[in-house]
Structure 1
Amino acid sequence: MSKDCLFCGIVAGDVPSAPVAETETTVAFMDIQPGSDGHLLVVPKRHSTDLRDIPAADLADVAIESQRIAKHVFDVWGADGVNLLNSCGKDAWQSVFHFHMHVIPRYRDKTKDRLRLPFEPGMRGEAELIEEMAGSMRSALEAG
């Protein structure tokens, strides 16, 4: 636990939250600044700052619990879709530096869905740049 971490405070029960689920290694609770009705967060109980330092087992547990919850947003809340979102680093919109997965129900009814992501697919990328970047990532992954 990190003493200055908001989510560690929620995990410890020292900070009020609206809990949804708890496993041996994760806690899920409602987001107090929701992008849509039912927006919630799944966090590992053990503190990790972000995607770069979370142990693989904790990441797997968060992903599995996020999926379990996401499957229910359709029937429970009548969602039309769902996004799972993780932000890693301030420039990727991370504002609480305890790894967390957003489970964001999506609705056609925009009175329930206020989330607007800045990226909309549509413009085809430059093929040469895509292949160059694929090659550099393949090399890095092969090197370990």
Structure 2
Amino acid sequence: MGVECLFCAIAAGAQPAQIVLDDEVAVAFLDARPVFKGHVLVVPREHAETLTDLPVPAVGPFFQRVQTMAAAVEEGLSAAGTFVAMNNRISQSVAHLHVHIVPRNRKDGLRGFFWPRVKYADEAEAASYADKIRSALRG
């Protein structure tokens, strides 16, 4: 996409960032507004707005970098674990696919998501949602 995309600019070296991984597949750098210090964003080098826009052959290599970065965040920061997350369009602050890797420790103050929870009216309603998703998979 070019330098008009902040993450493309970071990947191209045109925008400064604290880079922690840089290869032919992905670039990972510290989030400028971290949840916790050491919060990393992993982005594909080639512009893709969302996960569904990432070409299928690129998915495996990209997520190998995500896996590698999750391990590096845990080891490098002596974190007990990580929170790994991604938004697609909604709440996606930059329109370039990015995976958040946030270092976690017990009692670190992160309370998870404050999403409202709902219930299906019954098993039939749940089954109808599952059917719709399965139908979409079949195309």
TM-score normalised according to structure 2 size: 0.86
Deviations 1:89-144 (A, max 9, x none): 1x3x101001111111112242xx55742238xx68323332211111112212x2
Question: Match of 2:46, SS?
Answer: coil
Relative to structure 1, the CA distance from residue 86 to residue 130 in structure 2 (aligned partners, 3 Å threshold; closer, same or farther) is same
Does residue 1:132 correspond to 2:128, yes or no? yes
Deviations, residues 39-85 of structure 1 (Å, cap 9, x unaligned): 10111111111122111223322211010111232222121221221
Partner of 2:92: 94
Aligned equivalent of 1:108? 106
Q: How does 1:19-58 map to 2 (within 5 A)?
A: 19-58=19-58
Task: Work out the CA distance in 2 between the residues paired with 1:28 and 1:80.
Answer: 20
Residue 74 of structure 1: aligned partner: 74
Sequence identity (%): 34
Please give the alpha-carbon distance, in whole angstroms, between the structure 2 residues aligned to 1:73 and 1:15: 23
Q: CA RMSD in A?
A: 2.0
Task: Answer whether contact 2:38 2:102 (CA < 8 A) is retained.
Answer: yes
> What SS does structure 1 have at the residue aligned with 2:52?
coil
TM-score (ref. length: structure 1):
0.84
Per the TM alignment, residue 29 of structure 1 is displaced from its structure 2 partner at its CA by 0.5
User: Match of 1:131, SS?
Assistant: helix
Q: Distance in 2 between matches of 1:75 and 1:24?
A: 24
Q: Where do 5+ consecutive residues of structure 2 fail to align? A: none
Q: Provide the aligned length of Structure 1 versus Structure 2.
A: 137
User: Against the structure 1 CA distance between its residues 58 and 34, is the aligned structure 2 distance closer, same or farther, given a 3 Å change threshold?
Assistant: same
d(CA) in 2 for partners of 1:115, 1:23: 34
CA distance 1:129–1:36, change in 2 (3 Å): farther
* Residue pair 2:44, 2:62 contacting (<8 A) in 1 also: yes
Q: Is the 8 A contact 1:83 1:106 kept in 2?
A: yes
Unpaired runs of at least 5, structure 1? none
In the alignment, the residues of structure 2 paired with residue 107 and residue 57 of structure 1 have an alpha-carbon distance, to the nearest angstrom, of: 34
User: How far, CA to CA, are the matches of 1:37 and 1:129 in structure 2?
Assistant: 43
